[in-house]
Structure 1
Amino acid sequence: MSNNNPRPLSPSLLSLLLSACGSGGLLTTVGPDYQTAPLPTAANWQAPQPDENNLPVAHQGDPMDLSRWWDRFQDPVLNRFLAAAQQVSDSVADARARIEQARANLVGAEGALLPALDFKTSATRSSASFGGTPFIWNQFPFGLQSSWEIDLFGGLARQEEAALSQLESRNASWHDARVAVAVEVANAYLEYRYCEAQVQILKADTDSRRESARLSEIAGKAGFRAPGDVALANASVAEGNRTLLQQQAQCERSIKGLVAMTALEETEVRKLLTEAPGWAAKLPSPAAFRIDSLPARVLLQRPDVAAAERDVAEASAKIGVEQAKRFPKLSLSGNITPTLQNMNGAAFFLAETWSIGPTLSLPLFDAGKRAADVEVARIQYQAAESKFRSKVRTAVKEVEDALVRLNSVVERLPQSHKAVSGYRTNFLAVQQLYQTGLGSLIDVETARRNVLSAEMAVKELEQEQVSAWIALYRAAGGSWDEPGHTRKVDAAASPAPGDGKSEKTDQFLNHQGDFTGGKS
């Protein structure tokens, strides 16, 4: 078009074009419309739940019942470690970066649906003679350029849909990374407290061995005990000391592990572990809970399952993106460029040019590339769907495993306590016989080992019980907010909402959960 005034688009046509933005293609929307499929799970859990009638249900379609689960430990030391580890975790940082990348992709996809507008300016000084006296020509053009691809067949709408699903998936993966870190730290902390409890048992056992050896030496010097008995008693003390030192070294290694996970100074870690009143050698004690009897309802709150399902939705949308490339593409472009100019120092004058018009691109021949890209997108969708189903099966297995562990511990603990009581009674009786000269030191040491093994077995079962509760927390989804819930999140721990971003981008930032009583 030339310098005549441009003929404006009719209001009805303009309204039709604008209505196509963000609502599918102007003519049609190619590609499959994704529908969330029901989770491929059984109707009920197969493993029994301990004390099913006496415990509160963890979540009845409301995952917020688990979001503050760590508070139920009522252990400030654990909370401090969880908060510190979450701040420095590389997996959480990587997941946070992926959210930012997905958010940028969504902004770009939304922007592709709208006209692009650019400002351009330049300055030119040139000389021309045309066979006569040269003249100087100064030009200062400035103007606006605009382009707009009309989404005829929904390719841009599908791209926005894919970007939106990607952002949801990345956000869910961020939750999963945080829960994984929480579980790792909680297990490391549990391991240290378990190690402390073992040291406590071994110290008591070593003190008992030492006292027996002292009495044997006194009796041996008085001629009431054979030298072999005295030697056996001293060997028992040495064995007890060796086992105690070995266990203490294991506790030191556990401290090193906590330092690495939390990035706290070792002196601070030791201070937190040793100066907390009443927590030394005490295993964490989380509150018991039941999970809902419907597997699908439980698994819906798992962030890894949610991320895998959103990956399927993204792959579905990308089929439409590739299919739209096989259809014609229509775009509008235009510019208006006023130019301030003069010649040989004369007065400046303004020249104005503009242009506007459509461009239609028709794909004719590409040797089958576009069709192959569609087929690749379909295969990727099938792979994402297969991965989602595999993730669901793994999630079911993890829940069932945790329930089996809990049920097994509940059944074994009473038997272990009974064994400790019986072995201790036997040890005291055998020790009393030996002290009166009617028993054998070998029998005493055998009875002592039985007591030690039984006490260690009880403590191991108690540790396994706490570990199983942590595993069930992890398997049931950990920290996860219900849709639409808004929570204030520490900026250092979570991706900050982007200023000026679209509403679709920011709405997912309100789903960022907390997993600990301290700042996360």
Structure 2
Amino acid sequence: MPDHTLHRLWWAACLPLVLTACATQAPPPQVDAPTPTAWQAPLPHQGSVQALGDWWAQWGDPLLVELVQDAQALSPDLAQAQSRIVQARAALTGSRAALTPSVDAQASASRGFNESVRAVASTAQAGLQAQWEIDLWGGNAAAERAASERLQGAQAQWHAARVSVAAEVALQYSSLRTCLQQQAIAEDDERSRAQTARLSQQSERAGFTAPATHALAQASAAEAVVRSAQQRMQCALELKALVALTGRDEATLRTRLAPTPLQPPTDALLRIATLPAQVIAQRPDVYAAEREVAAASADVGQAQAQRYPRLALSGTIGAAQVRTQGLQTDLNTWSLGPLALSLPLLEGGRRAAQEDAARARYDETVALYRARVRLAVSEVEQALVRLDASVGRTASAQAAAEGYRTAFRATEARWRAGLASQLELEDARRTALAADQSLALLAHERAGAWVALYRAAGGGWQAPVAITTAQH
């Protein structure tokens, strides 16, 4: 049969396979994850956009910036994220290697009876063996795309871990500062009640105060001692929790803490984009979920390619030397081939099941991606609501605390003049104390709302490329 006839038969036999290969590379449909067209929560600062990268430095507390850096250097979550980047990079290197030929070197030496020369001889051999699986259906290319997408996702998750650690440290630091502020309030209250008890004791000895009234003053002073001791214990626990996060020396950290409370950032420091989609672009976890969708899509292509014939080409180059009885013989060989074609025939549906599993994993990643987008929008909405509520209550809480303090001072002056009872004094004191503590807690709540908004908005992270709709 003529050679050109053989070539035509060969291409006719391969044509269905080539068409099938083109079908596996068809563009996948888009995955949409709709977001609201506008926020349903009140926006601070008229909804303008501002980068958040240097946000912690703008709080005006250098110690907070140092603690965030220390915690990030020490965090096991960041170490795990960094390890996953290294693993993803190694997987990408391996998948890229599958697209290129592999070459192995071999060498051997022996001495013994050689059948070809029928005598004892020394034989030395060296050679190169190459093998290349031709990526007919794009399976290896799909594996490389999946590894590349997962590497980008791992890098984004590392940024997400940084944002999470920074937010955790800021919340713990704010909690400690608030606790110290409440401790100062409790200690002032303890001194005030102790002074009242001393005056009551003197008045009782002079016969101007009933024993029951003096007993009430003593009980109030004892209650203040208990409250102050409990607050000191709570602050010690908060300090130890911050030490565990940052690895700082406890004694050194205690001396660095100023008695003044942590001040939340001013209104000009954090701005939120008008459209939810713009904020979603700043979420590294959403970006990572999108990359996982793309990787799962490539996994489907790889599993699909495994169901079709595989074509591999091999070749060798070798040199041999035989020495016997003073004579030397050199042999050089090379070969190209065989060109091996393997067709899956009977494998019990294993490859089809692998493709079904890959498609199921893709459907799962799509559902997780859409859920992540909805969660991101919800977290920003909730943070905006909490921030708006805390800011709106601050002025009223400050006015209430100042009014109750004024009322307490007036009641105390009347009590000293004998115009108010001990019960009136203690009631005014409890009200003023509760208002001061509520004001401190509200400041912590507002700082927590800022931190939650920082975290929900992605901490100022930006994707390395423009966010595109995930595909399969």
- Tell me the TM-score normalised to structure 1 length: 0.82
Q: Do the aligned partners of 2:128 and 2:316 also contact (CA within 8 Å) in 1?
A: yes
Q: Does residue 113 of the first structure (1) align with residue 99 of the second (2)? A: yes
Q: Does residue 57 of the first structure (1) align with residue 36 of the second (2)? A: no
CA shift digits 1:271-318 (9 cap, x unpaired)? 333xxxxx3241142243221111111012111111111111010000
Measured after TM superposition, the shift of residue 263 of structure 1 is: 2.1
**1:122-137 aligned within 5 A:** 122-128=108-114, 135-137=119-121
State the secondary structure of the residue aligned to 2:458.
coil
What's the counterpart of residue 265 of structure 2? 286
State the secondary structure of the residue aligned to 1:438.
coil
Distance 2:128 2:204 in 1: 107
Measured after TM superposition, the shift of residue 269 of structure 1 is: 2.6
Measured after TM superposition, the shift of residue 128 of structure 1 is: 5.0
Q: Do the aligned partners of 1:166 and 1:311 also contact (CA within 8 Å) in 2?
A: yes
- Tell me the TM-score normalised to structure 2 length: 0.90
Counterpart residue type for residue 307 of structure 1:
A
What's the counterpart of residue 14 of structure 2? none
What's the counterpart of residue 257 of structure 1? 241
Q: Do the aligned partners of 2:48 and 2:274 also contact (CA within 8 Å) in 1?
A: no
Q: Does residue 403 of the first structure (1) align with residue 384 of the second (2)? A: yes
Measured after TM superposition, the shift of residue 359 of structure 1 is: 1.2
| Identity across the alignment (%) | 42
Measured after TM superposition, the shift of residue 452 of structure 1 is: 0.4
What's the counterpart of residue 24 of structure 2? 30
Counterpart residue type for residue 44 of structure 1:
A
Distance 2:28 2:407 in 1: 69
Distance 1:316 1:103 in 2: 19
What's the counterpart of residue 70 of structure 1? 56
Distance 2:175 2:19 in 1: 57
Q: Do the aligned partners of 2:287 and 2:463 also contact (CA within 8 Å) in 1?
A: no
**1:323-472 aligned within 5 A:** 323-344=304-325, 346-357=326-337, 358-472=339-453
Measured after TM superposition, the shift of residue 36 of structure 1 is: 6.1
Q: Does residue 217 of the first structure (1) align with residue 201 of the second (2)? A: yes
Distance 2:115 2:223 in 1: 108
Measured after TM superposition, the shift of residue 410 of structure 1 is: 1.6
State the secondary structure of the residue aligned to 2:327.
coil
Distance 1:129 1:417 in 2: 104
**CA gap 1:472/1:233 in 2 versus in 1, 3 angstroms:** same
Counterpart residue type for residue 68 of structure 1:
D
Distance 1:302 1:25 in 2: 41
State the secondary structure of the residue aligned to 1:66.
coil
Q: Do the aligned partners of 1:409 and 1:465 also contact (CA within 8 Å) in 2?
A: yes
Distance 1:461 1:339 in 2: 85
Counterpart residue type for residue 173 of structure 2:
Y
**CA gap 1:396/1:446 in 2 versus in 1, 3 angstroms:** same
**CA gap 1:159/1:312 in 2 versus in 1, 3 angstroms:** same
Q: Do the aligned partners of 2:134 and 2:313 also contact (CA within 8 Å) in 1?
A: yes
Flag the structure with higher helix content: 2
Deviates more, 1:258-267 or 1:154-163: 258-267
Q: Do the aligned partners of 1:172 and 1:306 also contact (CA within 8 Å) in 2?
A: yes
Deviates more, 1:242-251 or 1:74-83: 74-83
4+ aligned runs moved over 6 Å, structure 1: none
Q: Does residue 81 of the first structure (1) align with residue 67 of the second (2)? A: yes
Measured after TM superposition, the shift of residue 434 of structure 1 is: 1.4
Distance 1:173 1:34 in 2: 26
Counterpart residue type for residue 328 of structure 1:
P
Measured after TM superposition, the shift of residue 463 of structure 1 is: 0.7
Measured after TM superposition, the shift of residue 221 of structure 1 is: 2.1
Q: Do the aligned partners of 2:89 and 2:151 also contact (CA within 8 Å) in 1?
A: yes
Distance 2:175 2:122 in 1: 79
Q: Which runs of 5+ in 1 are unaligned?
A: 1-23, 60-64, 274-278, 486-520
Q: Does residue 321 of the first structure (1) align with residue 305 of the second (2)? A: no
What's the counterpart of residue 81 of structure 2? 95
Measured after TM superposition, the shift of residue 406 of structure 1 is: 0.7
Distance 1:376 1:230 in 2: 79
Distance 1:420 1:456 in 2: 9
State the secondary structure of the residue aligned to 2:443.
helix
Q: Which runs of 5+ in 2 are unaligned?
A: 1-17, 467-472
**CA gap 1:134/1:330 in 2 versus in 1, 3 angstroms:** closer
Distance 1:293 1:39 in 2: 18
What's the counterpart of residue 4 of structure 1? none
Measured after TM superposition, the shift of residue 97 of structure 1 is: 0.6
